[in-house]
Chain A
Amino acid sequence: MLKNVRIWFEKKGAARYISHLDLVRCMTRALRLARVPVWYTEGYNPRVYMAFAMPLSLGVCGNRECMDIRITEEISNEELVHRLSERLPEDLPILAGTDPVHRLEEVAYAEYQMDLRCSDSLALDGKIRSLLQMNTIFVLKHSKKGDREMDVKPYFRDLDIRSIDRNMLALSVRLPCSTAGSINPSLLVDAMRRYEGEELVPYITRTRLLLADFSDFF
């Protein structure tokens, strides 16, 4: 038998500093350790089959990330989750194993939360709002094809800003996140540096993966 299982996990703490490639290696070792009957690719160098929705940027936490694996023998999702959990570092906990509902390519958006530590959250709130009043907000966007100037104003129009306390501002935003193109929430930090001279260290978490109609991806 061959069956796809969607594994949901969290990436936080120390684990947010591992790259996507390192995450793949980490998951491979854990699957081996947990003796999950995984399917190996049949190329010249067989490897454990694993497919991810959209990779997370280095340093960004994920509340509900997922990867698909293919199993060759019957094993309950509960058993799989239990065995895998024991074999992963603390900061990569497994949340659930489910039968895939959507195709991975259907992910179109993601919701992010950005925590900004600052000396005066009211003042920072004002600065961000005035930034968003501008007609265009150009920042340098890195891509494989090279760097280019891009107007990110349309993406951050609906930014939600909440003041947690005097020293903490929480922003949340929904951004495109698909193989066709993604917008990194940290572009807002770049814009703040360029236009307001503000040096911010954001703590970013991807909270949800969404479909084209903004409903949850399962």
Chain B
Amino acid sequence: MFPKAVEDLLPRVQKPGRYVGGELNSTVKSKEAVDVRFAFCFPDTYEIGMSHLGMKILYGAINQVPYFWCERVFAPWIDMEQKMREKHIELYALESGDPLSAFDMIGFTLQYELSYTNILNMLDLAGIPLKSKDRPGLMNLVVAGGPCACNPEPLAEFFDLFFLGDGEELDIEVMELYRQCKHNGTSKEEFLRLAAQIEGVYVPSLYEVAYNPNGTVCSYTATQGAPQRVRKRNIMDLDHAYYPDSFPVPMIEVVFDRISEEVLRGCIRGCRFCQAGFLYRPFREKSIETIDAQSKTLCESTGYDEVSLSSLSTSDYRRLFELIDTLHQWTEPDKVSISLPSLRVDNFSPELMERINSVRKTGLTFAPEAGSQRMRDVINKNVTEDQLIHTVETAFAEGWNRIKLYFMIGLPTETLEDVQAILDLGKKVVDTYYQHKDRPGGKAVEVSLSVAAFVPKPFTPFQWFGQDTEEILGEKQKILREKVPSKRINVSYHGAKTSYLEAVFARGDRRLGQVLETVFHMGQHFDGWDECFDFDRWMQAFAQCGLDPDFYAVRSRPFDEVFPWDHLDYGIRKEFLQEECEKAYREETTPNCLEQCSHCGAACFKGGVCVEKRADLV
């Protein structure tokens, strides 16, 4: 539903279907009959937000409680926003059409650093004060979760609390406490003190930060009984965790228009650049029976004809062939196709491709991440060139002729030779195609190399690493631009400036809050979109706040530096990350969790692969 006043705006905006709600399976309750209303806010457009699995899980989990009602809110695109501001229409939720200010709790998901300005804009569009201290009541409590909550410090002033880790149980527990406090007329301060006692809840206002004269963090001190370190929440048994049996089916086309069935959480690989690989440990699989039943239920409630088996690395699911064969028993007669979002270079096989009949032979994507073996050893991406060549050979034999390869530049210890090796690898793939006897006749091979700039992230072995400066990245980019060895290779390179800003905020501290506020007031938002991103404006905002972005992005940190996220505990020991960092510089690799436990610390959660691999925990 949408407010009556919006009707006059809709004929004049792009894609009005974004703003109207009314989808099949959306949950509409009576507001008088519920105790706590939760607005799930996705700080990007409808099409992106509606593709997000986490939102579907939490929407269902909250709405299955009779006295809670969760609704959806997305960032209006700039044309709609302008018209809403002209007509003084507050940002509203799609189920009831009620303004955001009518909600008890306003929750944002933090997926990406460059969406932070959209958060401020959404609050502002709803007339809600940006800063936590300017919202004295319990009403309009502003909360957040998601991967970027692992270092939420740049947002600390704006949010009342953060959820760390898996949200299925945690969010509900906090809402239960809220319900009680609302009923008893408890103050916001008291509610926050109580909430901080729940494992996985981080209340930033209860922590005092002291800084060293050089600008680094000296210490974090917990006050009012809050825990000194906040540990993330983990769902250990995915078979018994909540999973939705339906979700709102968008009427307009969205980015991922299909069912996402999560098959496992966590990752065994330990690629040293990958934050998700560490944040979501330990590796936990769902059983075939659960995946089968959940996928079937979702097909029957949504009408989709495609199920994507999603996770950080689905081909690591140990009984993948058996899983797909089980699903095929009903997906084939029902004309439902199965897709895998991510394939690894080292376990792509004709047997797997035979089972995934839906994969159209238009293009295949792999992520070797680096061009030289030396570089891949540094980042612990344990795939070899032989494996890659073997894999593309298989793909060519199966009829593919378009290959896309993902790489990063700006990785620790990287030299210009390592960058050149990206192009060499592309050339080898092209040569492999022409040496191949059974290649599809009459078609030329197309190899696209997509190259992004590396962003060092918290909770990874590279969290100490200073990002390459723009000059160095420019030099590396020049090689990629000028030395392309074949017309069959297409190199795309994107976002040195956006990567730089990501690096600033990924490892930022509380002082960056004023930069966000300043740049927002300059009119900046939708920074993840090229048409809106304005780097100069950002630099102006840093200057106005007297902060140097290089301090956050390109400075290398000593191992003994206190980080703004050190008081947040994701189970991974800082000492382990340091060991991994040192190994990286020695070009030594670390085996994956299935081969050998590397004692990262995630065993403290007492579950998943850790229990299987470490007898002392059982």
**Which of A13, A17, A88 has the largest count of B CB atoms less than 10 A from its CB?**
A17
Asked if A14 is an interface residue, CB under 8 A from chain B, the answer is yes
Chain B binder among A25-33, A66-74, A208-216: A25-33
Would you list which residues of chain A between 7 and 46 have a CB under 8 Å from chain B? 13-15, 17-19, 21-22, 25-26, 28-30, 32-33, 40, 46
B303 close to A89 (CB less than 8 A):
no
- Determine the chain A residues whose CB is within 8 A of the CB of B17 once the complex forms: 14, 17-19, 22
Inter-chain contact B22/A14, CB cutoff 8 Å: yes
**How many residue pairs, one in A and one in B, have C-beta atoms under 8 Å apart?**
68
**Contact status of A26 and B305, CB under 8 A, knowing A14-B2, A15-B22, A17-B16:** no
Task: Determine the distance from Cα of A201 to Cα of B304 in the docked complex, in whole angstroms.
Answer: 36
Chain B: which residue is nearest A186 at the CB level?
Answer: B11
For residue B417, CB closer than 8 A to chain A, the reply is no
- Is A58 on the interface with B (CB-CB < 8 A)? yes
Q: Are B251 and A15 in contact (CB under 8 A)?
A: yes
B14-33, CB < 8 A from A: 16-17, 19-24
Closest to A91 in B: B22
Q: Assuming A25-B253, A26-B251, is B304 touching A17 (CB within 8 A)?
A: no
Enumerate chain B residues within 8 angstroms of A32, measured Cβ to Cβ: 303, 305
Complex contact B22–A13 (CB within 8 A): yes
When distances are taken between beta carbons in the complex, the residues of chain A under 8 Å from B301 are 33
Given contacts A15-B251, A26-B251, A33-B303, contact A88 B11 (CB under 8 A): no
Task: State whether B11 touches A59 (Cβ < 8 A).
Answer: yes
B249 interfacial by beta-carbon distance below 8 Å: yes
Q: How far is the CB of A193 from chain B (nearest CB, A)?
A: 12
**Residue pair A14, B20 in contact (C-beta under 8 Å):** yes
Q: In this complex, what residue of B is CB-closest to A87? A: B303
Decide if A90 is an interface residue (CB 8 Å cutoff). yes
Nearest B residue to A60 by beta-carbon distance? B11
B253 touches A22 (CB 8 A): yes
Which residues of chain A in 74-107 are interfacial with respect to chain B, using CB atoms and an 8 Å cutoff? 87-91
Pairwise interchain contact B253-A21, C-beta atoms closer than 8 A: yes
Q: Which residues of B contact A203 (CB under 8 A)?
A: 7
Asked if A89 and B253 make an inter-chain contact with CB atoms under 8 angstroms apart, the answer reads no
- Measured between alpha carbons, how far is A17 from B302 in the docked complex, in Å? 20
Determine the chain A residues whose CB is within 8 A of the CB of B300 once the complex forms. 33
B21's contact among A14, A28, A46, by CB below 8 Å, is which?
A14
User: Which residues of B have CB within 8 Å of A90?
Assistant: 22
Shortest beta-carbon distance from A36 to chain B in Å: 11
B21-52 at interface with A (beta carbon < 8 Å): 21-24
Is B543's beta carbon under 8 Å from chain A? no
* Chain B residues near A59 (CB-CB < 8 A): 10-11, 16
Flag whether B531 is at the interface (Cβ < 8 A). Answer: no
Write out the residue numbers on chain B whose beta carbons fall within 8 Å of the beta carbon of A25.
253, 257
Please, which residues of chain A bring their CB within 8 A of the CB of B21?
A: 14
A-side contacts of B23, CB under 8 Å? 14, 89
> In the complex, which residues of chain A have a beta carbon less than 8 angstroms from the beta carbon of B305?
29, 32
Q: Taking the nearest CB of chain A, how far is it from the CB of B217, in angstroms?
A: 49
The reply to whether A29 and B302 form a contact with Cβ atoms under 8 Å apart is yes
Q: Does B471 contact A (CB under 8 A)?
A: no
Cβ of B251 and Cβ of A30 under 8 Å apart? no
Query: Would A22 and B16 count as touching, CB distance under 8 A?
Result: no
Tell whether, in the assembled complex, residue A87 and residue B24 are in contact, meaning their CB atoms are under 8 Å apart.
yes
Which residue in A21, A30, A58 is a CB contact (below 8 Å) of B16? A58
Which B residues from 243 to 261 make CB contacts under 8 A with A?
A: 249, 251-253, 257
Number of chain A residues whose Cβ lies closer than 8 Å to a Cβ of chain B: 28
- Which B residues lie within 8 Å of A87 (CB)? 24, 303
Q: Is B8 in the interface zone, CB < 8 Å from A?
A: yes
Distance, CA A32 to CA B302, complexed state (A)? 9
If A26-B251, A87-B24, A88-B24 touch, does A17 touch B10 (CB 8 Å cutoff)? Answer: yes
| Contact present for A30 and B303 (CB under 8 Å) | yes
| Bound form: Cα–Cα A58–B10 in Å | 10
Complexed CA–CA distance, A17 and B250 (Å) = 12
Q: How far is the CB of A173 from chain B (nearest CB, A)?
A: 18
Q: Which residue of B lies closest to A21 (CB)?
A: B253
Residue from B24, B257, B305 whose CB has the most chain A CB atoms within 10 Å: B24
Proximity bits, B288-306, A CB within 8 Å = 1, else 0: 0000000000001111110
- In contact, B249 and A18 (Cβ under 8 angstroms): no
Q: How far is the CB of A92 from chain B (nearest CB, A)?
A: 8
Q: B246-278 CB contact bits vs A (8 Å, 1 = yes)?
A: 000101110001000000000000000000000
Q: In the complex, are the beta carbons of B303 and A18 less than 8 A apart?
A: no
Are A89 and B2 in contact, with the CB atoms below 8 A? no
B251 partner, pick from A14, A40, A201, beta carbons under 8 A: A14
CA distance A68 to B476 in the complex (A): 58
CB-CB under 8 A from A91, the residues of chain B are 22
Q: Is the CB of A18 within 8 A of B11?
A: no
State the Cβ distance, B150 to closest chain A Cβ, in Å. 37
Within 8 A of B (CB), among A125-167: none
- Closest-by-CB residue of A relative to B257 is A25
Contacts of A19 in B (CB 8 A): 17, 252
- Also in contact, A29 and B303, with CB within 8 A (given A21-B253, A22-B252, A89-B22): yes
Query: B7 contacts which chain A residues (CB < 8 A)?
Result: 201, 203
Q: Which residues of A contact B253 (CB under 8 A)?
A: 21-22, 25
Given contacts A29-B304, A33-B303, contact A89 B24 (CB under 8 A): yes
A201–B8 touching, CB < 8 Å:
yes
Complexed CA–CA distance, A155 and B617 (Å)? 82
Cα-based distance from A90 to B257 in the complex (angstroms): 20
Kindly provide the distance from the CB of A129 to the nearest chain B CB, expressed in whole angstroms: 24
B377 to chain A, nearest CB (A): 42
Q: Mark A180-213, 1 if CB is under 8 A from B, else 0.
A: 0000000000000000000001110000000000
Which of B1, B301, B303 counts the most A-chain CB atoms under 10 A from its CB? B303
The distance from the CB of B584 to the nearest CB of chain A, in whole angstroms, is 45
CB distance from B196 to the nearest CB of A (A): 41
Question: Which of A18, A19, A201 is packed against the most chain B CB atoms within 10 Å?
Answer: A18
Known contacts A18-B252, A25-B253, A29-B24; 5 additional CB pairs below 8 A are A13-B22, A14-B251, A17-B17, A29-B305, A201-B11
Q: Point out residues on A near B: beta carbons under 8 Å.
A: 13-15, 17-19, 21-22, 25-26, 28-30, 32-33, 40, 46, 58-59, 87-91, 117, 201-203
**B residues touching A (Cβ–Cβ < 8 Å)?**
1-2, 7-8, 10-11, 16-17, 19-24, 249, 251-253, 257, 300-305, 335
Please list the 3 inter-chain residue pairs (A to B) with the smallest Cβ-Cβ separation, ordered nearest first. Answer: A14-B22, A29-B303, A14-B20
> Can you list 30 A-B contacts with CB-CB less than 8 angstroms, sorted by A residue number?
A13-B20, A14-B1, A14-B21, A14-B22, A14-B251, A15-B22, A17-B10, A17-B16, A17-B17, A17-B19, A19-B17, A19-B252, A21-B253, A22-B251, A22-B253, A25-B257, A29-B24, A29-B249, A29-B302, A29-B304, A30-B24, A32-B303, A32-B305, A33-B300, A33-B302, A59-B16, A89-B22, A89-B24, A91-B22, A201-B8
